[in-house]
A and B are shown apart, each in its own frame.
Chain A
């Protein structure tokens, strides 16, 4: 029995690592989404974390742990820097601004040859990331999110998600809460970037573009943005599925797309809402309240 488990882990360790890594990213986005921030900055944060940590381990010879921490701090610092101006924007403008950030980072990575290796990327990165690192990070993450949800902070965030104007009226500092969540999201994505870089032997600018950012958003949204387990479910689902559909490369993309569409259409509140399908009632149009008009006051 034990041997079977060991063999299972050995043969699927890659996928397990990927699932863990993507779950971690999913929580980063979960935090942002919990205050209605549809962030496409993930790719940018991850790139910052990845490149800076690789520089530290490969060029300066620092140990892995401080390098990961530095990567995470880079992500958080970037989030803090762009957060103040970007958080003024609402809805789609916020999304597009974060998208612009990711693309700017990607293009810099593509052109700053001496630091990032340009389009060729950086190869033969030592593989420091162990499965237990990821497990530990994920457990801490889930614990922190769980604790936050029950705290004053969590209730304030829930109020902001419901309606930020009302939350503001009730004395919640919407901007501060949003900024701290955005910085936390940057921290986690930066850390995930550092882990990812030391997992794959290779990083290139193409790894951290729009696709990456959107995939990252897909995890918590597919899993469900209201449940604590949502991000993990979404991440594992979207990571394992392509592997299960390995038999045909093109067919895989088609089926993958079709499955995501099906989940979105039939479980509009995320995959976990399958548990409460029976209580479904017509709440149509509730999402339309959030319009795209940017608000300059705040």
Chain B
């Protein structure tokens, strides 16, 4: 039983970082109808921003803010340099995919140039060392903090999307760009905001996961991109609540398959799952009918 509970704890804390990351992916998909392959690079960038901030002696919440804003700025830059230019010039939508991949590659190169290829770690803190044993289940303070931060981020995003005028604008653009333009929504600025939010979520997720495993490397983004794609398929493309549920689901599935099946088949189970879901219910597990949302 304690093994089971331990896996639940681990799965939820891991899944919450997946959920935060996937919300960004699905947001961009919902609004722009493109898969942004550079999302993993924003994630990696955020982890480094957070790392540098922590090394400068900033307290953890501020470092997280730095990671979030840093990731958001990367997102904004990507939109300004690549996606907006492509939209204006009328390139095929595949081009956005190719360009965002090239951008990701470029950013990995830049990160290697600046920080080196070696794995780096966050400076020691009480956050990393405190843990409790409850009935043989080990719960780290860090895991709780990560879960709480993730839930706060989810709530903030939900509030922004549902209650603020920016959120309404984002949902309108997601529904239809033309309709948004007709009713006077500043489409360009809204898309820019979306990229800031998505990049910020990716950056924050980078710092969270970097802390959870205490590993930051230039190559961490690629892995995460794969997870993010898995999650948004699970939850349905463009479906934000679905991404949250899918994130937790993937985290739990991974952790449980390591504990009860075999560590090497961890990824196979995840991918087998998405393959099946795409065949059986391509709109994702959590949608009842086809629609585009953000």
Q: Which residues of A contact B (CB under 8 A)?
A: 33, 38, 85-86, 88-89, 92-93, 95-97, 99-101, 103-104, 107-108, 110-111, 210-211, 214, 217-218, 221-222, 225, 250-254, 256-258, 260-261, 264-265, 268-269, 282-288, 290-294
- The answer to whether A264 touches B33 (Cβ under 8 A) is no
Task: Tell me the total A-B contact number using a CB cutoff of 8 A.
Answer: 159
- The answer to whether A107 touches B278 (Cβ under 8 A) is no
A219 CA to B33 CA, complexed, in Å = 23
- The answer to whether B89 touches A97 (Cβ under 8 A) is no
Contacts A/B (CB < 8 Å), 27 sampled: A38-B97, A89-B282, A92-B35, A92-B237, A96-B274, A96-B278, A100-B233, A100-B271, A103-B226, A107-B267, A210-B222, A250-B113, A253-B108, A256-B105, A257-B105, A260-B102, A261-B82, A261-B102, A264-B98, A264-B102, A265-B91, A265-B99, A284-B89, A288-B93, A291-B292, A293-B292, A294-B282
A292 CA to B85 CA, complexed, in Å = 22
Minimal Cβ-Cβ distance residue in B for A214: B101
Does B264 count as interface, using CB distance less than 8 angstroms?
yes
Find chain A residues with CB under 8 A from B81 CB: 261
- The answer to whether A294 touches B290 (Cβ under 8 A) is yes
Minimal Cβ-Cβ distance residue in A for B107: A257
Chain A at the B interface: SS class: helix
Nearest CB of chain B from residue A295's CB, rounded to whole Å? 9
A284 CA to B274 CA, complexed, in Å = 34
A165 CA to B229 CA, complexed, in Å = 28
Does B147 count as interface, using CB distance less than 8 angstroms?
no
One of A38, A253, A258, A293 near B94 (C-beta < 8 A): A38
Minimal Cβ-Cβ distance residue in A for B92: A287
Does B164 count as interface, using CB distance less than 8 angstroms?
no
- The answer to whether A97 touches B279 (Cβ under 8 A) is yes
Q: Which of B70-111 contact A (CB under 8 A)?
A: 81-82, 85-95, 97-99, 101-110
Q: A257-B109, A287-B92 known; A268 and B278 CB under 8 Å? A: no
Q: Which of B225-256 contact A (CB under 8 A)?
A: 226, 229, 233, 237-238
- The answer to whether B268 touches A221 (Cβ under 8 A) is no
A104 CA to B95 CA, complexed, in Å = 26
A214 CA to B103 CA, complexed, in Å = 13
Find chain B residues with CB under 8 A from A95 CB: 35
- The answer to whether A101 touches B90 (Cβ under 8 A) is no
Minimal Cβ-Cβ distance residue in A for B280: A85
